[in-house]
Chain A
Amino acid sequence: MKALILAAGKGTRVRPITQTIPKPMIPIVNKPVMETLVDLLRSNGVYEIMVNTSYLSREIEHYFRDGSRFGVDMAYSFEGRLENNELIDEPLGSAGAMQKIQEHSGFFDETFVVLCGDAFIDIDLNLLLRKHRQKGALATIALTQVASEDVSNYGVVVTDDSGKILEFQEKPTTEEARSNTINTGIYIFEPEVLNHIPKGQVFDIGGELFPSLVASGASIYGFDLPMQWLDIGKLSDYHKVTQMALNGSIRGFKMPGRKVSPGVWCGINVSGDLEKCNIIPPVYIGGSVTLEEGCTLVGPVMIGQGSVVESDAYIENSTVFEHTRIGSTAEVKNTMICGDYAVDASGCVLDLEKMGIDWAVSDARRAPESISYDQQQFLNLIDVWTETEREEVSYSRVID
Chain B
Amino acid sequence: MKLSIERTNNIAVVGIPGEDLDAQNAKAFKKAVTPLLEENLNFIFDLSELNFVDSSGLGAILSSLRHVNNTGRDLKLCGLSTPVRALFELVRMHRIFDIYNDRDEALLAYQTSTDVVELT
User: Which of chain B's residues have a CB closer than 8 A to the CB of A346?
Assistant: 82
- Docked CA distance A342–B86 (Å): 9
- Which residues of A189-211 have CB atoms within 8 Å of chain B's CB atoms? none
- The reply on A8 being an interface residue by CB < 8 A is no
- The reply on B66 being an interface residue by CB < 8 A is yes
Among A46-54, A91-99, A372-380, the stretch that binds chain B is: A372-380
User: Which of chain B's residues have a CB closer than 8 A to the CB of A212?
Assistant: none
Q: A331-B92, A382-B92, A385-B95 are in contact. Are A356 and B62 (CB under 8 A)?
A: no
User: Which of chain B's residues have a CB closer than 8 A to the CB of A348?
Assistant: 82-83, 86
User: Which of chain B's residues have a CB closer than 8 A to the CB of A342?
Assistant: 86, 90
- Docked CA distance A331–B89 (Å): 7
Chain A contact residues, majority secondary structure: mixed
- The reply on B119 being an interface residue by CB < 8 A is no
Instruction: Assess whether B62 is in contact with A378, with CB atoms less than 8 Å apart.
Output: yes
Instruction: Assess whether B54 is in contact with A356, with CB atoms less than 8 Å apart.
Output: yes
User: Which of chain B's residues have a CB closer than 8 A to the CB of A344?
Assistant: 86
Within the complex, what minimum Cβ distance (angstroms) separates A32 from chain B?
28
Mark A320-354 against chain B: 1 for CB-CB distance below 8 A, else 0: 00000000011111010000001010101110001
- The reply on A88 being an interface residue by CB < 8 A is no
- Which residues of A344-400 have CB atoms within 8 Å of chain B's CB atoms? 344, 346, 348-350, 354-357, 360-361, 374-375, 377-378, 381-382, 385-386, 389
- Docked CA distance A375–B54 (Å): 11
Instruction: Assess whether A377 is in contact with B90, with CB atoms less than 8 Å apart.
Output: no
Instruction: Assess whether A381 is in contact with B63, with CB atoms less than 8 Å apart.
Output: yes
Of listed B23, B62, B95, residue having the most chain A CB within 10 A: B95
Instruction: Assess whether B91 is in contact with A330, with CB atoms less than 8 Å apart.
Output: yes
Closest B-chain residue to A372, C-beta based?
B55
Q: A385-B96, A386-B96 are in contact. Are A378 and B55 (CB under 8 A)?
A: yes
Instruction: Assess whether B96 is in contact with A361, with CB atoms less than 8 Å apart.
Output: no
- The reply on B59 being an interface residue by CB < 8 A is yes
Instruction: Assess whether B90 is in contact with A389, with CB atoms less than 8 Å apart.
Output: no
Instruction: Assess whether B54 is in contact with A329, with CB atoms less than 8 Å apart.
Output: no
Instruction: Assess whether A381 is in contact with B66, with CB atoms less than 8 Å apart.
Output: yes
User: Which of chain A's residues have a CB closer than 8 A to the CB of B95?
Assistant: 331, 385-386, 389
User: Which of chain B's residues have a CB closer than 8 A to the CB of A357?
Assistant: 54-55, 58, 87, 90-91
Q: A385-B95, A386-B96 are in contact. Are A350 and B90 (CB under 8 A)?
A: yes
Closest B-chain residue to A330, C-beta based?
B90
- Docked CA distance A375–B57 (Å): 11
Instruction: Assess whether B92 is in contact with A356, with CB atoms less than 8 Å apart.
Output: no
User: Which of chain A's residues have a CB closer than 8 A to the CB of B96?
Assistant: 382, 385-386
Instruction: Assess whether B87 is in contact with A355, with CB atoms less than 8 Å apart.
Output: yes
- Docked CA distance A346–B87 (Å): 14
Instruction: Assess whether B90 is in contact with A361, with CB atoms less than 8 Å apart.
Output: yes
User: Which of chain B's residues have a CB closer than 8 A to the CB of A329?
Assistant: 91-92
- The reply on B56 being an interface residue by CB < 8 A is yes
Closest B-chain residue to A332, C-beta based?
B90
Mark B79-120 against chain A: 1 for CB-CB distance below 8 A, else 0: 000110011011111011000000000000000000000000
Interface residues of B (CB under 8 A from A): 23, 52-56, 58-59, 62-63, 66, 82-83, 86-87, 89-93, 95-96
A-B contact pairs, 25 of them (CB 8 A): A329-B92, A330-B91, A330-B92, A331-B89, A331-B95, A335-B86, A344-B86, A346-B82, A348-B83, A350-B86, A350-B90, A354-B54, A355-B54, A355-B55, A355-B87, A356-B56, A357-B91, A360-B90, A361-B90, A378-B55, A378-B58, A378-B59, A382-B62, A382-B92, A386-B95
- 10 nearest interchain CB pairs? A356-B55, A378-B59, A385-B96, A355-B54, A348-B82, A381-B62, A360-B91, A331-B92, A356-B54, A389-B95
